[in-house]
């Protein structure tokens, strides 16, 4: 079942320091290096919501995530490819990881059919009919010029019976193999014109104009599924290792199972993942979730929580959660977080942020989002320092106690 990785495309991962199961490292991609453990802000529709790219970079983010599902529908992967790929389209010159579309096609669209071949669905925007197959997902991510491409999988719903989880996981395994083959096939030399067919998973797609696909630093990640069943997670991990990927993601978590079951799943899944490859816990999470997952050996994270919470008046701070809409902040001249270096904290008071949010001002969403993304990047920086000094366990206790208040 093993397929040799196309080395020209491969990303590089170097581990610098291990502390228990946690590790710091550096991930080298076509568009730059990422210090791990890393948090990837979500840039769903080719923008991290309410943020300029300069603002995102100022927080320390070294990679963002783009959503295949949203981008394939609007403005379409073909248009982005024609305009030079996602980096050029949105003017983000650092690394981008794209998801496969699997999670969102199931959560946002109206599914009409899941089959061995893939998923047929109707767009949540205009009802138009589309199909994503493993081949089509990889093709789209190739057109977007993603530094890190994710295999197309089925995100197993939670809860699921053992049989449901097994069937879903094994479908994802078969899709994983097809994803790998599709990724290998899309070498720069195979370019022969822009695909005009949105639904057949054609392999005739072009390079994004001016893309860096002729350079090294592109990778494909597998995704371990199996719900909360240890035997299924181990089976999924083993089979994916046999296929061979540049990194391994853990999917199907943060879907309602709770932190204890999530940590439990990581406890038996991380040890069977390749030590030398990056591990990415998809869609996670709150600060304590992240620190706890790093303690178990995870290197990469993405989550909409900091951006979505920011647009909903919720701030993460070194003293816990703050709902800035609360009336107690109306006259408060202190900063949201005295230790934070973001513009919301250094230029403005809680009283002003409270006013902006109450008045429904866009600047409220902008500043609160900026703060939360700064908090998350500071959290990752703290995590890396605590790994370096072998003190991550005590940092986890500290973060947990702050957020239990």
Count of residues in contact with its own copies, rule CB under 8 A: 37
Applying CB under 8 A, does 359 fall inside the site for its own copies? Answer: yes
Q: Which stretch, 146-154, 221-229, 317-325, 357-365, contacts its own copies (CB under 8 A)?
A: 357-365
Nearer to its own copies, 75 or 157 (CB): 75
Min dist. Cβ of residue 34 to its own copies (A): 22
Nearer to its own copies, 331 or 397 (CB): 331
Indicate which residue of 145, 289, 302, 378 is catalytic. 302
Quick one: which H or E segment has residue 47?
none
Side-chain-side CA neighbours of 227 within 13 Å: the count stands at 17
Q: Cβ-count burial of 71 within 10 angstroms (0-12 exposed, 13-18 middle, 19+ buried)?
A: buried
Contact 291, 399 (CB under 8 A): yes
Spatial separation of the C-alpha atoms in residues 157 and 168, rounded to whole Å = 9
Applying CB under 8 A, does 349 fall inside the site for its own copies? Answer: yes
Applying CB under 8 A, does 343 fall inside the site for its own copies? Answer: yes
User: Would you call 302 a catalytic residue per the annotation?
Assistant: yes
Applying CB under 8 A, does 123 fall inside the site for its own copies? Answer: no
Q: Indicate which single residue of 28, 35, 57, 75 sits in contact with its own copies (rule: CB under 8 A).
A: 75
Spatial separation of the C-alpha atoms in residues 85 and 113, rounded to whole Å = 30
Q: Cβ-count burial of 333 within 10 angstroms (0-12 exposed, 13-18 middle, 19+ buried)?
A: exposed
- Nearest CA to 279 out of 252, 307, 320, 251 is that of 251
Q: Which stretch, 21-29, 42-50, 191-199, 221-229, contacts its own copies (CB under 8 A)?
A: 42-50
Nearer to its own copies, 60 or 75 (CB): 75
Spatial separation of the C-alpha atoms in residues 242 and 265, rounded to whole Å = 21
Give the number of other CB atoms < 10 A from CB of residue 351. Answer: 15
Q: Cβ-count burial of 216 within 10 angstroms (0-12 exposed, 13-18 middle, 19+ buried)?
A: middle
Spatial separation of the C-alpha atoms in residues 299 and 275, rounded to whole Å = 11
Applying CB under 8 A, does 58 fall inside the site for its own copies? Answer: no
Q: Which stretch, 8-16, 98-106, 195-203, 365-373, contacts its own copies (CB under 8 A)?
A: 365-373
Nearer to its own copies, 50 or 282 (CB): 50
- Nearest CA to 101 out of 32, 39, 175, 211 is that of 175
> Tokens 């990679």 label which residue?
63
End-to-end CA separation in angstroms for the chain: 50
Q: Indicate which single residue of 53, 117, 123, 398 sits in contact with its own copies (rule: CB under 8 A).
A: 53
Min dist. Cβ of residue 363 to its own copies (A): 4
Contact 132, 117 (CB under 8 A): no
User: Would you call 197 a catalytic residue per the annotation?
Assistant: no
Applying CB under 8 A, does 89 fall inside the site for its own copies? Answer: yes
Q: Which of residues 90-109 bind its own copies (CB under 8 A)?
A: 90-91
Applying CB under 8 A, does 129 fall inside the site for its own copies? Answer: no
Applying CB under 8 A, does 8 fall inside the site for its own copies? Answer: no
Q: Indicate which single residue of 358, 382, 393, 398 sits in contact with its own copies (rule: CB under 8 A).
A: 358
Binding residues for its own copies, rule: CB under 8 A, are 45-47, 49-54, 74-75, 79, 82-83, 89-91, 330-331, 333, 343, 347-349, 351-352, 354-356, 358-359, 361-363, 365-367
**Which residues participate in catalysis according to the annotation?**
99, 302
């Amino acid at each position: 079942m093993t397929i040799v990785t196309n080395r020209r495309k491969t990303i590089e991962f170097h581990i610098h320091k291990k502390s228990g199961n946690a590790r710091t490292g550096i991930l080298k991609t076509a568009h730059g290096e990422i210090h791990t453990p890393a948090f990837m802000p979500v840039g769903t529709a080719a923008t991290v919501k309410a943020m300029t790219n300069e603002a995102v970079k100022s927080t320390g983010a070294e990679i963002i995530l783009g959503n295949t599902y949203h981008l394939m529908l609007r403005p379409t992967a073909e248009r982005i490819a024609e305009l030079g790929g996602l980096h050029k389209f949105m003017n983000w010159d650092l690394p981008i990881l794209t998801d496969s579309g699997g999670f969102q096609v199931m959560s946002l669209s109206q599914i009409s059919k899941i089959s061995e071949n893939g998923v047929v669905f109707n767009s949540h925007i205009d009802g138009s009919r589309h199909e994503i197959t493993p081949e089509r997902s990889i093709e789209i991510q190739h057109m977007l010029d993603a530094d890190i491409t994710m295999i197309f999988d089925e995100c197993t719903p939670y809860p699921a019976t053992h049989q449901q989880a097994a069937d879903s996981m094994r479908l994802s395994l078969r899709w994983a193999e097809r994803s790998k083959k599709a990724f290998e096939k899309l070498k720069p030399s195979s370019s022969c014109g822009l695909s005009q067919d949105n639904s057949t998973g054609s392999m005739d797609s072009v390079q994004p104009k001016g893309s860096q696909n002729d350079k090294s630093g592109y990778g494909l990640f597998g995704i371990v599924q199996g719900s909360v069943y240890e035997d299924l997670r181990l089976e999924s991990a083993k089979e994916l290792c046999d296929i061979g990927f540049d990194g391994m993601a853990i999917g199907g978590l943060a879907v309602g199972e709770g932190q204890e079951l999530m940590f439990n799943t990581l406890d038996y899944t991380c040890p069977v993942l390749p030590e030398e490859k990056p591990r990415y816990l998809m869609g996670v999470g709150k600060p304590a979730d992240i620190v706890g997952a790093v303690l178990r050996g995870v290197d990469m994270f993405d989550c909409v929580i900091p951006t979505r919470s920011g647009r909903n008046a919720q701030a993460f701070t070194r003293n816990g959660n703050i709902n800035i809409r609360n009336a107690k902040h109306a006259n408060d001249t202190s900063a949201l977080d005295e230790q934070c270096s973001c513009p919301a904290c250094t230029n403005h008071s809680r009283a002003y942020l409270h006013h902006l949010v109450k008045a429904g001002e866009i600047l409220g969403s902008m500043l609160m989002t900026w703060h939360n993304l700064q908090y998350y990047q500071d959290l990752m920086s703290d995590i890396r320092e605590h790994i370096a000094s072998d003190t991550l366990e005590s940092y986890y206790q500290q973060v947990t106690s702050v957020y239990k208040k």
